[in-house]
Amino acid sequence: MRICYNQCTVKKNFFITFEGCEGSGKSTQSLLFCTHLKRMGIAAVHTREPGGTGVAESIRKILLNPKNSIAPVTELFLYEASRAQHMHDIILPALSAGKIVVCDRFTDATIAYQGYARGLDIAIIRRLNAIATGNRAPDLTIYLDIAPAKGLLKAKAIKNGGDRLDRETLSFHRKVRRGYLAAARGEPQRIRIIKTAETIEETQSLIIETVRNAKRGIPL
C-alpha cells in the first residue's frame, strides 16, 4: 500500500535492518535513524535481534552471557527461536499496522556469524531464516563496515570486556566481516555498504543519503 507524504510516495510496511561487525555503531545509528523518521511524522518502530520482545530478550541473555558455553548448532537454533518470536510479537504486527520497522541486526547476522564464522551450512541457515521469518526479508539493509580489530576494541571497552560473541578471536570476527561483504555482493540492491565515518553525525548523514538514493519509498 502507498500513501502520499510530503509530496513523496511513501511505501508503508517498510522493513529496514542495520548490520555490522562489533563496534560498528549500528545500534546508535539505527536508533538515530528511527528517531529521524519519527521526527518527520512517520510511524516507525525500533527493535533489535536477538531480542525485541520478552521471550526473545530472555534468549538474548543466554546467548550473550560469557559464562555460557554453547554448541554452534544450539546457538543457531537459539538465534532462530528468538527471531521467530520477535517476528510474531513485534515485526509482523508493526508492518501490518503500516509502520516502518527499523531492526538492529537480523537474518544477515546469522549468515555472517553462524555461517561464515562458525562454519555451519549456509543453505540450512537460509532455510531456517525463511522458516523463522515466514519469508519476510528486509526491504533494505544498511551494513556499516568497520575494521574488526578497531570495532572490537571499541565494543569491548563499552561492554566491560565484551559479551560471549565479542570475546571470540579476531580471526572469527574477520570471517564475520567477510560473510557480510559476501552477502552484500550477492544482494547489492538490498544490502548497502557504508564505511563508518569519523563521527556519529557524518555516518548518520551517509545513511540518510544512502536510503534516499535507494529510492525504496522512504521520504528523506
From the list 28-36, 90-98, 104-112, 137-145, the region that binds ligand TMP by CB under 6 A is 104-112
Task: Give least dist CB 60 to ligand TMP, A.
Answer: 7
Amino acid at 116: Y
Q: What are the Cα distances from residue 168, in Å, to 55, 61, 83, 155?
A: 25, 17, 22, 12
Task: Give least dist CB 22 to ligand TMP, A.
Answer: 6
**Would you state the cell numbers that stand for residue 215, as one nine-digit string?**
529510492
Query: Is residue 113 involved in binding ligand TMP (CB under 6 A)?
Result: yes
Query: Is residue 79 involved in binding ligand TMP (CB under 6 A)?
Result: yes
100-104/191-195 β-pairing:
unpaired
- Residue 147 or 220: the one with the smaller Cβ distance to ligand TMP is 147
CA–centroid distance for 68 within its chain: 23
Query: Is residue 165 involved in binding ligand TMP (CB under 6 A)?
Result: yes
Any residues with CB less than 8 A from the CB of 161 and at least 6 apart, and which?
66, 167
- Residue 41 or 54: the one with the smaller Cβ distance to ligand TMP is 54
Radius of gyration of the chain (CA): 17
- Cβ-count burial 54-67 (b if 16+ within 10 Å, e if not): ebbeebbeebbeee
Task: Give least dist CB 79 to ligand TMP, A.
Answer: 4
Query: Is residue 50 involved in binding ligand TMP (CB under 6 A)?
Result: yes
- Residue 14 or 180: the one with the smaller Cβ distance to ligand TMP is 180
Among 109, 128, 144, 191, binds ligand TMP (CB under 6 A): 109
| Phi, psi values for residue 171, rounded to 5° | -65, -35
User: Are 128 and 65 within 8 A, CB to CB?
Assistant: no
Query: Is residue 110 involved in binding ligand TMP (CB under 6 A)?
Result: yes
Task: Give least dist CB 105 to ligand TMP, A.
Answer: 4
Query: Is residue 105 involved in binding ligand TMP (CB under 6 A)?
Result: yes
Q: How many residues bind ligand TMP (CB under 6 A)?
A: 10
- Contacts with ligand TMP, residue ranges (CB under 6 A): 22, 49-50, 79, 105, 109-110, 113-114, 165
